[in-house]
Structure 1
Amino acid sequence: MMRASFGRKGARAVAGLSKLGRPSAWIHALRVLEFYADNNVNQKKLATHGTGFRLSPLASLRDAHLLTVGKNVRVGERACLWCASPGGAIDIGDDVIIAPGVMITTSNYGNARGALISSQDRKIASVLIGNDVWLGYNSVILPGVTVGDGCIVGANAVVVDDLEPGGIYGGIPARRIGSRE
């Protein structure tokens, strides 16, 4: 009789498979699926979007009923599109690339002295992203900002003011560093 030899990696795989019978493993898997469904699948159903909208399964949407997305828009991994009720809508144009890690938010806390930040009123303002825009890796778009058509926002930039069409922006806060040719 011949014995199978799995080696070290094979032994770990067999041990991992044996854990599938544990109820706690199944409960954890169900919780993960529920979280994913609530934060991505169900939220995507609430958003208004055009054809060719591709959303990474690892992206995060909040209050997606306030999200409007144009045609041929790609949203990368760990990107966060967080609308805030009431009135903090995100409107994204056509042919937009949102790289992994991008954060677009329509809500921010107050920063007045003498009061706890968490107890202050939030600033809620809509965000508009134009057509043919590329938001680079880990860039942040804050409430009330309009990103003009044809803009490129560099990696790790923080956009606090409106961006003029056709510009290339980078830095904290984002400043114009060039123009598209």
Structure 2
Amino acid sequence: MKHKFCLLYTWFVRTFLILLPDQPLIMRFRGWCYSQVMPQCGRDFQVSASTLLRNLENISVGNHVYLAPNVIINAIAMVKLGNEVMVGFNSVIVSGNHTRIEMSYRFGKSKVNDILIGSGTWVAANCTVIAGAIIGDGCLVAANSAISGDCSSHGIYAGVPARKIK
């Protein structure tokens, strides 16, 4: 029942606040509205109008977190964003993955794993963070990258699949 309430609540917040401009005060208000059903949410959570959040009951964020326009977070399992995390335009964070059965991914069981994004991390535009990813503190995930494994702290990661480049 809680899951259905959260889905309806998310739809309500997004539908009625999507017409308001992406100004810091309004983005903080959006973040505050979403935080009402999240297990943990720090101060200054800023959410752009076109951001799509699914399963709020599985999303935890720290202080000063920013989600840019068109970010999608589908939290089938836990998704934890540390303090001062920025997620760039058109990025996708999804804690579920498909498996193959009889040469097709259509009816395979879902594989779910938590996602952890450490404090001070910047996930740049058009990135995909896949189930089971653990990104350490202070990382930069370069634009158009896909993260599926562990990333040590204070590294720069790029590519598909992403590898440490610095």
Report the TM-score, using the length of structure 2 for normalisation. 0.79
- Aligned to 1:53, which of 34, 45, 51? 45
Match of 1:67 in 2: 59
Amino acid at match of 1:45: Q
Amino acid at match of 1:55: V
- Aligned to 1:83, which of 63, 75, 87? 75
Instruction: Quote how far apart the aligned CAs of 1:45 are.
Output: 3.4
Segments of structure 2 that go 5 or more residues without pairing to the other structure are 1-10, 19-29
SS of aligned partner of 1:117: coil
Deviations 1:132-160 (A, max 9, x none): 00000011000011000010000000011
Aligned 1:132-151 pairs, distance under 5 A: 132-151=120-139
- Aligned to 1:93, which of 82, 86, 99? 82
Match of 2:159 in 1: 171
Does the 8 Å CA contact 1:39/1:61 hold for their aligned counterparts?
no
Amino acid at match of 2:90: G
SS of aligned partner of 1:37: helix
Q: 1:39 to 1:148 in 2, by over 3 A?
A: farther
SS of aligned partner of 1:118: coil
Instruction: Quote how far apart the aligned CAs of 1:111 are.
Output: 2.5
CA distance in 1, matches of 2:100, 2:94: 17
Match of 2:116 in 1: 128
Does the 8 Å CA contact 1:72/1:95 hold for their aligned counterparts?
yes
* Aligned-pair identity (%): 25
CA distance in 2, matches of 1:43, 1:74: 13
Select the structure of larger CA radius of gyration: 1
SS of aligned partner of 1:128: strand
Does the 8 Å CA contact 2:13/2:34 hold for their aligned counterparts?
no
Does the 8 Å CA contact 2:56/2:75 hold for their aligned counterparts?
yes
Instruction: Quote how far apart the aligned CAs of 1:118 are.
Output: 1.8
Q: Does 1:37 align with 2:15?
A: yes
SS of aligned partner of 2:57: helix
Does the 8 Å CA contact 2:95/2:132 hold for their aligned counterparts?
yes
CA distance in 1, matches of 2:140, 2:100: 29
Amino acid at match of 1:61: L
Q: How many residues align?
A: 142
Does the 8 Å CA contact 1:39/1:62 hold for their aligned counterparts?
no
